[in-house]
Every structure is written in structure tokens, then in C-alpha cells.
Amino acid sequence: MKIEAAETLRIQLPLVNPFHTVHSEQSMRELMLLHITTDLGDGWGECSAFPTAGYSQETLDSAQNKIESAFLPALAGVEFDEWREVRDLLVGWEQSPAATHAIETAVADASLAALGRSLADDLGGTKSLIQVGVVVGFESDIETLLGVVAGYVADGYKRVKVKIRPGWDIDPLQALRSAFPSLALQVDANGSYSAADIERLCGLDAIELLMIEQPFPADDLEAHLKLAGVSATPVCLDESITSSTAARRAIEMGACSIVSVKPSMVGGLSEAVAIHDLCVDAGIDLWCGGMLESGIGRAAAVALASLPGFTLAADLSASDRYFARDITEPFLLEGSALRVPNGPGIGVHVENDALLEHGAVRRTIDLTAGL
Ligand SMILES: [Mg+2]
């Protein structure tokens, strides 16, 4: 197949509830979509980088620039047999993982749709439903946190992840555990602690968490290794997992017993599958993280999470956890699970009036720019 035309679209999706993390407080999710037209049909991908650097170095602007000025022109006129060939044609894809993921997804969507094959099938998925959890950002006080969690439990979520940071950890978690004695709880620190906090973090052991995710900065594997040696709470890495090479190193060191993978942080679906295979071989529990994706990114992530090595609930909630109106048909909670799309390609449809409603700004990519 061959790419004949391409466009990027920037959209603004209002969030149902503002999402407060260590890096930002967001009430609007800005995203970039990639729409390609090929000789076999069209395809969609999503770039779920954030507007500003912080969570990662890649931003929506830098990713869009890379796609428009380098990656798509590099693919112009190239004939390929299947979507897995695309990534290695993108020079420096490792430095632009979200841009790479958007392109890989769009090409996979177009080529698999032409074959009548679903992305989940093509990746090796084995589940028709995937278990999901919900993430709770920082709340103003413990009472508000308890109310927010009670709402999600009433919705059907059985696993809740709470953001923590120094000053917001043991007390709110103890209150949650008292209010919800049997709820599956885990915490995510987004790298906000240092090795000096290891003793304090061991205080979380009494709360019986499923895991503590990324307590220390992404490059401080040593601190994670130390905590893993003294804490009863399993240590999970997220921001540290930037590639299969990084995942292999962390696992071989013993710095984690659980891995979270996000296709847009590792450079796409092929790399995410490589990390999946690594975790299966090493007996490491794995789950799929979320980036406040729209239905396009969510469809790709849910397809990935249908692989057998994803042993823990994904951070991929129902669409209504985030958006009053998504740009595709919404993902609905079935019990505490999402259904894996089984239609051709990514298996969801982009609704044009939803794009308009969310202020889509379209730019046609000049495929001759790199020639
Ligand atoms: Mg995380």
C-alpha cells in the first residue's frame, strides 16, 4: 500500500472533571489526530502527547511538526506490504514516540481495514473484554476524595488508582482503605519522591496496595531497586518504560515486578508488543496505561491490552469518565470491563460532527516537503 494524502487535526475535548496531576491541572484535553488516505482506503491515528513538556519531552507541537515536516514526507511514494514496516522508515522515531504511534496506528487502521481484519486480532489479542480501572487525580481534601472514589465504585470500577505525592499519601490512603476495605487500590507518584523517602513509602505497606507506580524519577532505577528490596508493596515502573531496551534493563536489574506500557510513550504498537513479550518471558505482570486518549487512541490501546500478557486492569476507563462527547462511538463500561473492538482496522468510526463540535483545525500535509 501507499500513502496518497494526509492531514493533521487539532481538537479540544472538554474534560468532564478537571484532572489534577503532579505535572498539570487540565480541564481541556487537546489532542492531535492523523488522518491518512491510501490506495487501499483511509486510516486514523492519534497523537496523545500533552500540549506542554513535563510528563514527557515530546509535546503536541513538536510531534505535529515532526509528522508534517519529516515523517509523512519520508513515507511519500513508498510502497509497503504491512504496517509493521513503517516504523523503521521514520528516522529518529525513538525521540518522537507519540508521533510514531500516531503514524503506525493510522497505517495499521488503513491496511487492516482493507483486509477486513481487526487490530486486536492482528496484534495477537485473545480477549473480547479487558478489565479496566479508573484514575483519581489530586483532590482538595480527603472528604472530596472519598466522594469521588465512591462515585466510581458505584459506576462499577473495581480497581482505583490514586495519585500521590509528598504531603498527600498515607493519610488519604488510610482513609480510603477504611472506607473501602476490599477495594483494589494502587497509587501513582509520577516520580515525585526521592530515595530519602523510602522509609516513608514503606508506611504504605499496611494499606495493602496492588502496587506503587513510579515513586522515583524515570532515570533513577537504583532507588526503585532499593524500594523493591524493602517494601512489601510491589513496585511498578511507568515513565521509566520508554522502550523495550529500557524495560529489559529495569526487569534484569530487579527494579520492578510490574510494568505499565503506553504505546504513545514507547513509539507505537510494535514496540509495546515487544515489551509485552519481554514481560511474558520474564514473568512480570503488565498493564496498559492511559494518556486521556480520545476514542481513536483508546481503540488502539484496548486492542493492545487484549494480548494475554496484560495480566492487570488497564488505565483505560469508559469514555464518559473523561468526555461528555467523544469523537467516536463511546467505550462503555460492561461490569468493570471494556469491549475490545472487533471491526476492521481499529474498529471505531470518527464522527465528523463531533470533530466540528470540538473545533477541529485541519492541516493538509505536503507529502513532497521532504523530496
Ligand atoms: Mg503513571
CATH number, residue 283: 3.20.20.120
pTM of the full predicted structure? 0.96
Q: Which residues contact 103 (CB under 8 A, 6 or more apart)?
A: 34, 45, 67, 71, 72, 75, 86, 87, 90, 268
Domain-located, residue 346: no
Q: How far away, in angstroms, is 333 Cα from ligand 1 center?
A: 22
Taking only the tens place, the pLDDT of each residue in 274-300 is: 999 999 999 999 999 999 999 999 999
Percent of the chain past pLDDT 90, that is, above it, reads: 94
Active site residue 66: no
pLDDT greater than 90 at residue 302: yes
Q: What mean pLDDT comes out for the span 243-247?
A: 98
* Separation of alpha carbons 354 and 219, rounded Å: 40
Q: How far away, in angstroms, is 163 Cα from ligand 1 center?
A: 9
Report pLDDT for 26.
81
Question: Which amino acid makes up residue 44?
Answer: W
Domain-located, residue 345: no
Q: What mean pLDDT comes out for the span 152-156?
A: 94
Domain-located, residue 74: yes
The answer to whether 329 touches 338, Cβ cutoff 8 Å, is no
Report pLDDT for 217.
97
Closest to 240 in 3D by CA, of 229, 70, 258: 258
Domain-located, residue 135: yes
Q: What mean pLDDT comes out for the span 22-50?
A: 93
CATH number, residue 71: 3.30.390.10
Taking only the tens place, the pLDDT of each residue in 52-110 is: 998 889 999 999 999 999 999 999 989 999 999 999 999 999 999 999 999 999 999 99
Report pLDDT for 21.
77
Task: Indicate whether 103 and 126 sit together in one domain.
Answer: no
Overall number of domains in the chain: 2
Task: Indicate whether 189 and 308 sit together in one domain.
Answer: yes
Between residues 369 and 331, the one the model is more confident about = 331
Banded pLDDT at 37 (limits 50, 70, 90): very high
* Separation of alpha carbons 318 and 60, rounded Å: 24
Residue found under cell 515513586: 215
Report pLDDT for 24.
76
Task: Indicate whether 249 and 289 sit together in one domain.
Answer: yes
Written in H, E and C, the secondary structure of the chain is: CCEEEEEEEEEEEEEEEEEECCCCEEEEEEEEEEEEEECCEEEEEEECCECCCCCCCCEHHHHHHHHHHHHHHHHCCCCCCCHHHCHHHCCCHHHCHHHHHHHHHHHHHHHHHHHCCEHHHHHCCCCCEEEECEEECCCCCHHHHHHHHHHHHHHCCCEEEEECECCECHHHHHHHHHHCCCCEEEEECCCCCCHHHHHHHHHHHHHCCCCEECCCCCCCHHHHHHHHHHCCCCEEECCCCCCHHHHHHHHHHCCCCEEEECHHHHCCHHHHHHHHHHHHHHCCEEEECCCCCCHHHHHHHHHHHCCCCCCCCECCCCHHHCECCCCECCCCCECCEEECCCCCECCCCECHHHHHHCCCEEEECCCCCCC
Banded pLDDT at 323 (limits 50, 70, 90): very high
Q: How far away, in angstroms, is 7 Cα from ligand 1 center?
A: 30
Q: Active-site residue among 66, 127, 161, 262?
A: 262
Task: Indicate whether 187 and 323 sit together in one domain.
Answer: yes
Banded pLDDT at 22 (limits 50, 70, 90): confident
- Please, how many CA atoms are within 13 Å of residue 30, restricted to the half-sphere of its CB? 10
pLDDT greater than 90 at residue 368: no
Q: How far away, in angstroms, is 98 Cα from ligand 1 center?
A: 16
Task: Indicate whether 168 and 270 sit together in one domain.
Answer: yes
Q: What mean pLDDT comes out for the span 109-132?
A: 98
Task: Indicate whether 180 and 36 sit together in one domain.
Answer: no
Report pLDDT for 19.
79
Report pLDDT for 370.
56
Task: Indicate whether 20 and 83 sit together in one domain.
Answer: yes
Domain-located, residue 321: yes
Q: What mean pLDDT comes out for the span 192-217?
A: 98
| Range of weakest confidence among 13-27, 81-95, 196-210 | 13-27
Task: Indicate whether 179 and 291 sit together in one domain.
Answer: yes
The answer to whether 339 touches 319, Cβ cutoff 8 Å, is no
Q: Hey, which residues does 287 pair with through a beta bridge?
A: 260
Q: How far away, in angstroms, is 187 Cα from ligand 1 center?
A: 9
Task: Indicate whether 356 and 216 sit together in one domain.
Answer: no
pLDDT greater than 70 at residue 371: no
Q: How far away, in angstroms, is 97 Cα from ligand 1 center?
A: 16
Task: Indicate whether 158 and 305 sit together in one domain.
Answer: yes
Active site residue 226: no
Domain that holds residue 19: 3-116+351-364
Q: Give the relative orientation of helices 170-179 and 142-155 as an angle to the nearest 10 degrees.
A: 40
Report pLDDT for 123.
98
* Average per-residue pLDDT for the chain: 96
